[in-house]
Chains A and B, each alone.
Chain A
Amino acid sequence: MSVPLSSKTVRDLRSIVGAAHVITDPDRLLAYESDGLTQYRAAPSAAVLPASSDEVARVVERLHGEGIAIVPRGAGTGLSGGALPSEGAVVLGTARMNRILEVDPDDRLAVVQPGVTNARLTEATRPFDLYYAPDPSSQSTCTLGGNVAENSGGPHCLKYGVTSRYVTGLTVVLAGGRVARLGGSGRVASGGLDLTGLFVGSEGCFGIATAIEVRLLPLPASVRTLLAIFDTMEAAGHAVTGIIGSGLMPAAVEIIDRATIEAVEASVFAAGYPKGVGAALVVEFDGTEAGLDADADRAERCCLEVGAREVRRARSEEERLGLWKGRKKAFGAMGRIAPDLLVQDATVPRTRLPHVLASITEIGKQYELRIANVFHAGDGNLHPNILFDRADPDELERVERASHEIMKLCVDAGGTITGEHGVGIDKRAYMGLVHNETELDMLRRVRGVFDADHLFNPGKVVPDAVETPAEPVGSERASAAHAEAGAP
């Protein structure tokens, strides 16, 4: 239940950002109750939409001065409940901070406000033959501010790395409204701690980035995309091992399994996969035109050597999009065949993929659950998706038990609980699987360095010293819209 702000607080906020940009109407606040992980819902006290770093600072100063917590929010496509409002909190949305402040083609960098979408930045830099490399699948919607908060990845981070590699400096609003500049591409010789790198991935718990300086890369001259079809997941896994082991460095290596292919083929997103196949593997190379066919040929041989049924190669951009279609639309398709979808993103060492995938299948059988796998195979970042119906309490309980077992399986295999979605509220209870109490205490201390009173995104990422498990609120269905917007 939301806790209303005092009329004076609302007045003050309106004087800072303008009356139209302080939302207190319960109907309009519905949009701020959850992010892409819709099973968690809570109403904020208000939503405030500042337009500048200065306005953010004044809003933060005003609210923190009264001890009111702030939950930062980008586009709301996150999949870990990171933007879930805590009780009494105000959501601070960055939607109006959507200006590209600078594109410097000479120094290959750009400075943007946090509400700029990932895809728009690449569009703005394309005329200079440059682009922004991290490409989460929600890139048409998700914002750079959200990417910074989550240290987002994407299919192409196998070759290019995740967000933190590209963020070179930040302007941030810290607790109490202090504006600080961290790093900056020209300041690498300062010899100071990597505060920018530490801030990236802090999930809104350290402050709010209001200007983001990023490094840009030259657009790859060409691209080659392959789709290999396998009878078994095991064979697809061997193909990945063969490709990486041969010294090739693909830009992306993605796998979708039988359950996912069936869901895709039964949907409006049907991509033309043959019936009864066990797995499909998308492999993409990019770079200088001259070497790409040789790379693609080698990858094709790797696939055929381990028994690929067929290997298709895109001859045009249209064909390339066709090969990617099944992968990109997988989440949308699954949203249509089950009322609810639990998306995980544990990561394991790539060589443990066959063992882990086989074990996930066993867990699915044991708990009588449908589990579909879509994942970034090149870097071991799994996305086992558990399909279920929250209205069935027995099934819901089995989902929760199976989910815990999958997490534990991945950690025991040398992996971790989240590769790119973040901990948020959803995986907080699993943090004990990867960190002991000493390490959790250190995470709390570091958070305290930035925000001693925990007024930025309280209740996220690090479990309390004595944990009280967070319960999902409500029984919202994983809608197709959610899956479209936030698909990893």
Chain B
Amino acid sequence: MSATTAFVDALAGLDRSELGAHAGLRRALRGSGLGPPEAILHPSDTAQTAEVMRSASEHGFGVLPFTSGAHREPARPSAATSPNRPWLGLCTDRLRGIEVYEAADLTLTAGAGTSMEEIDTALRANGQWAPFDPPHARDRSLGGLVADGGFGPLATGYGELRNHVLGMTAVTGDGRVLRLGGRVVKNVAGFDLVRAVTGSRGSLAILTSVTVRAFPLPAVDLVLSLRAARLEELLEAAARVRTAPVLPASCLLYERPDGEGEGAVLLVRLHGAASTVDADRTRLAAHLGRPLDVVAADRAAAAVVHARDAAWGRAVRLELSARPSRLSPLLGIVRAMDPVELALDPFTGRLRVGLEAVEADTVETLSASVEAAGGALRVSAAPSPGVVGMGTTLSEDEARLTDDLRRAFDPRGVLWPAYA
């Protein structure tokens, strides 16, 4: 028995599984140059998670946290990580279950592996919800969602997910357990490490439990739309929505093939009491100079999901952002790349692009234009591992602060970051 196997075997009492059981993780590993993990462990609580991390740190193993892995961006070893380094998969699926749900306080604490579907069901039973809608939101785990820090179109009306993560239990790369934030909506007792960990994609710490803010369900969720053959034809209308006196719950302009043929849709959601929504709809139409069509109630939920997931599932995915008013020329460059799907958020200035293929030099050209516009670009999915992660780079100072923060949380580089 090798020394490394002995260390893994010594982590007694932990469930294990084989890589073959994790299709999502296998997909995320494709092209990373890494061999299979020494083991995939399933700790059942924070203490076991900390034990794994301490042991891995001591024995020089890397650790990759995941729940299903299905939504993880393709993994890339960092410059400091040898592709031959032995590593463990740490699956958070047993860290599941709602721990505390105080409906009257509008807060919910759950294990990091709890599915958003389970959380959504519990909240809706009390007339509440969590308005976090990155692609495939209901299929994600709470920990995965928070680790990614991704947000969807509802960020316009409700704020990004990171504003609603109130607290977390996190285990650092060397097995220290941190209880950060709390269960109250206002908390400035120390530096905001919750913000640092949220969206760090598992590069600072492994989440074992998260507390988020819940919201009352709106009495009315009205979905409005405008259609056109191409997305560009709706850009002006989208810009008008952005400057309207009404702040919608969400606004997304997308183009993707669907059952009604190819075409572009501007989808706007208005939330509130019936009388409020009705008045907002009228004001919005007046500001746009044209009415928006009401999406029938029986089709609204599907339309919202269709828009939310636009440009996500294609072979190549580009995530681009710029100030909203500077997006139009960038869209012109993107259009020349022959995109299959597009999703543009006119409020947050994000443009997601789904393509069948892309060349590295095309990404470089786009990246230079995005940089010049003060924006950012990242290739978050591509069949070629050399292309994943390409895009604009952090400034020298941001990169240094990022590296130093990683060292503060993970001094021995155990947490194998998803990004180099």
Question: Which residues of A are at the interface with B, using a C-beta cutoff of 8 A?
Answer: 104-109, 129, 150-151, 153, 157-158, 161-162, 164-165, 174, 178, 180-182, 184-195, 197-198, 200-202, 205-206, 217-219, 221, 241, 244-245, 247-249, 287-291, 294-295, 347-351, 376, 379-381, 414-423, 427, 431, 434-436, 438-439, 442-443, 445-450, 461-462
Contact = CB atoms under 8 A, between A and B. Distances in A.
A133 to B, nearest CB: 10
Contacts of A415: 182, 184
A427 B189 contact: yes
A442 B377 CA distance: 31
Interface string B62-88: 000000000000000000000000000
Contacts, number: 258
B182 A193 contact: no
Interface string B394-406: 1101100110110
B193 interface: yes
Contact of A443 (B191, B217, B279, B323): B191
Contact of A294 (B127, B273, B349): B273
A363 to B, nearest CB: 20
A196 B231 CA distance: 32
A191 B192 contact: no
14 contacts: A107-B349, A108-B347, A180-B395, A186-B321, A186-B373, A187-B374, A188-B349, A189-B350, A195-B196, A248-B216, A249-B215, A294-B273, A379-B184, A439-B190
A182 B395 CA distance: 9
Nearest to A172: B397
Question: Which of A187, A221, A446 counts the most chain B CB atoms within 10 A?
Answer: A187
A265 B101 CA distance: 41
Contact of B378 (A191, A217, A416): A191
B47 to A, nearest CB: 14
Interface stretch (B23-31, B36-44, B240-248, B296-304): B240-248
Contacts of A247: 127, 216-217, 219
Contacts of B405: 193, 446, 449
Contacts of B193: 198, 442-443, 446
Contacts of A248: 216
Interface of B: 102-107, 127, 149, 159, 162-163, 172, 176-180, 182-193, 195-196, 198-201, 203-204, 215-217, 219, 239, 242-247, 272-273, 275-276, 278-280, 283, 319-326, 347-350, 373-378, 380, 391-392, 394-395, 397-398, 401-402, 404-405, 408-409, 419
Given A200-B192, A423-B189, A249 B322 contact: no
Given A180-B395, A192-B394, A446-B196, A380 B185 contact: yes
A252 to B, nearest CB: 13
Contacts of B188: 150-151, 201, 418-423
A435 B190 contact: yes
Nearest to A293: B275
B276 A290 contact: yes
A180 B398 contact: yes
B378 A190 contact: yes
Nearest to A213: B323
A343 B169 CA distance: 30
A108 B247 CA distance: 11
Given A218-B247, A442-B193, A449-B404, A191 B419 contact: yes
A189 B324 CA distance: 13
Contacts of B397: 174, 178, 180-182
Contacts of A218: 244-247
Contacts of B408: 442, 445-446, 448-449
B402 A192 contact: yes
B325 A104 contact: yes
